[in-house]
Amino acid sequence: MKAFAELYAALDATTSTGEKVALMASFFRAAPAEDAAWAVFLLSGRKLRSVVKSSELRALVRRFAGLDEFVFAECYQHVGDLAETATLLIDSTRPAPTSGETTSPAAGLAEWITERIEPLRRADESQRRAALEAWFAALPRAEMFVLIKVLTGALRVGISRGLVHRALAEAFGIDESRLAQRLMGDAPPSAAWFCGLIAHEATPADRLTPRPFFLATPLETGDPESLGDVRDWQIEWKFDGIRCQLVRRGGAVALWSRGEELLTERFPEIIEAAGRLPSDCVLDGELLCLAPDGSPRPFSVLQTRITRTSISRALLARAPAGFIAYDALEAAGRDLTALALSERRRALETEFVRAHPRLSLSPVLECSTWNIARELRAQARERGAEGLMIKHRASPYGAGRRAVSVAGAEIFAWRKWKVDPYTLDVVLTAAQPGHGKRAGLFTDYTFAVWDAGALVTLAKAYSGLSNDEIVALDAWIRRHTVGRFGPVRQVEPVRVFELGFEGLAESPRHRSGLALRFPRILRERTDKPAAEADTLETARALLRHAQAENLQLRPPRSREDQPGLFGAD
C-alpha cells in the first residue's frame, strides 16, 4: 500500500502527461505482479464492489474524530471530497500513527485489498467498525487517504485508461492496441492476469476479448458542410440501443457492451444467432429489442432486459432482441481495423450474408447533399433514432474518441449528429453543493413544473451552465434561500430555465410520474416569469406524442429493398 500511495501522491502532484506515464511505468516494472494488477485495475477507473456504505464511513469518521454531524457536513461541503475530508479530520484528532500487525509496512496493495478490505464485505457492522478504527489510528496519512479513496470508489487522479495503456507499453514493450484489447472486460486482478496482460505472445484470455471501441465526436455546430463533400461520408441512423461488439472466435461467442460488461448470458437469442455465422468475426453494432415486424422498439423496452440476470421464456417472448451491425473489425481471423470504412463495409455485406434474422445490417442512407441529410435528421425521432451517424468512408477503425489519419490529415472520422432535444421551461426550486472542484458551489439543481397551481419536482440537472453562470447563480441561491434540508437549499421559485432532455417515460418512483432521460440546462429564460413555466400536463403531452410516434424505425417495404446483413434462415 505504501508504494501505491506514493505513486498516487506523485501522480496527483504533476500535470505533465509524460511524467505521469513515466511514474506509472516505473511502478509497474518494480511492483510485484499482484500489486501491479490491482494498480492497473484502480488506475483504469474500475472500482471495488461496495464494501462500506458512504453513510457508515462518515459515521465512523465522526465518531473517531468526536464531531457532531453538522460539523462534519460543514467540513465536507468546504473540502468537497469525502476521502480528503475524512483524512484531515482523522489526522488532526489522533496521536502520531503507530505501527502494528494490522498495518505492517510489508503489506502490498494486493494484500490490502484481498485480505483486509474485501473480507469487510462479509463482516458484521461491529467487525467493520473495529477494523476501520484500527486503520484510522495507525495508518500514515498518505496511505489512509488512498485507503478511503479505494473504499469510496473515488480514485480519480487525472489518469485516463489510455495513459495506463501507454505506461504499460513503455514498461514492457507491448503494443498499445493489444494492451487495450486485453484490458477490455471484467477479469479479476491477479498475478496470473497481469502476466497475461503483458505477455508478448497470444494467451487463452485473448480468445473472446473485444476490440477497443471507436467513439464518435458530436457535430455541435449543426453545420455539416464544414465536413466537406458529403460523398466522402457514410451516413446511417444513430440507433437508440446499447453499443456492443459481437465476438466470435474459435466457435465461441461473446457479447460485450461499450461499458465492458459481458452480456452473453442476458441475450441468448443473439448468441444462438451468432453461432450460425459462416466464420469467426468481430462485429460492432447496436443491441435493441425488436417489434414483431423486426423494427427496433424504444430503449425503455431494452431496459427490461438489461437489468435481468436470469432471462425467462416469457421475457424472451415479450422483448426479443436483435443486433444491428454497422462495422466488421475482424473476419475469418483477419484484422480489418486498418482498412478504410468502405472496405470494411464491403466485408460486412459480402462475407456475412444470410445467417439469421436476429442479425441485420445498418442501412446506409443515400444523401447526395447535406440538405438531404438535414431532412433525414429531422425525421429521426419518428423513425426510432437519436439522429445520424456520419463516418468518413476512408477512415480506419480507431480507439476511443481520437482523431485518425485520413489522406494524411488527422480528423475526427466518426461524427454523431443528434436531433434537437425535447425541451420544457421549468422553475428552479432547490440546489445543493457539488463535489471536487465544485465543492462549496451550488451546482446540482432541482427543477419543477406546475400542476393544479402547485410546483411539482420534475428533474434534477447539473450540466449546461458556464463557470461564470454557476458562480453568479450560486451567489443568488445564497441570497434567496427560503429553507434548508441538510446540504439542500430551497430557493424562491422565481427563476425559469429551459431544460433539454433526450426522452421521457412514465415512472411511479417519481412524484411527477415521469422520468427524463439525460436532462441538461440549455439556457435561462430571463424573458419568462415563473407563472408561465410549463405544466405537468405539457410534459405528459410530450410523452403521449412520443408514444404516438411509436419511436420505431419504419420497416422496409420488402427484404429486397433493404437486405439484412444475414438475411433469413
Which are the catalytic amino acids? Answer: 238
CB distance 64 to 58 below 8 Å: no
- List the one residue out of 322, 346, 324 whose CA is nearest residue 336: 346
Instruction: Region of 227 please: left (phi>0), alpha (psi -120 to 50) or beta.
Output: alpha
- What are the residues whose beta carbons fall under 8 Å from the beta carbon of 5, sequence distance 6 or more? 140, 142, 143, 145, 146
Rounded Cα gap, residues 231 and 233, in angstroms: 5
465536507: which residue's cell? Answer: 76
- 444-449 contact pairs (CB < 8 A, 24+): 445/497, 445/521, 446/488, 447/497, 447/499, 447/519, 448/493, 449/424, 449/512, 449/533, 449/534, 449/535, 449/536, 449/538, 449/539
Q: Among all chains, which residue has been given the C-alpha cell 453513510?
A: 55
Q: Are 324 and 286 in contact (CB under 8 A)?
A: yes
Distance between alpha carbon 23 and the CA centroid of its chain, in Å? Answer: 27
Contact indicator for 207, 352 with CB cutoff of 8 Å: no
Exposed, middle or buried by CB within 10 Å (0-12, 13-18, 19+), for 286? Answer: buried
Residue found by looking up cell 427484404 in the block: 559
- Max CA pair span of the chain: 79
CA atoms within 13 A on the CB side of 126: 0
Q: Label each residue of 340-405 as H, E or C.
A: CHHHHHHHHHHHCCCCCCCEEECCECCCCCHHHHHHHHHCCHHHCEEEEEEEECCCCCCCECCCEE
* Cross-strand bridge partners of residue 418: 387
Work out the burial of residue 15: count CB atoms within 10 Å of its CB; fewer than 13 is exposed, 13-18 middle, 19 or more buried: exposed
φ/ψ of residue 364, rounded to 5: -90, 125
Q: Which three cell numbers stand for residue 243?
A: 453499443
DSSP single-letter state for residue 290:
B
Structural contact between residues 445 and 428, judged by C-beta atoms closer than 8 angstroms:
yes
Cα angle 463, 466, 471; round to 5: 100
Long-range CB contacts (within 8 A, 24+) of 261-265: 261/186, 262/185, 262/186, 263/287, 263/306, 265/309, 265/311
DSSP labels for 179-218? HHHHTSS-PPP-HHHHHHHT-SS--GGGTTPPPPPB-PEE
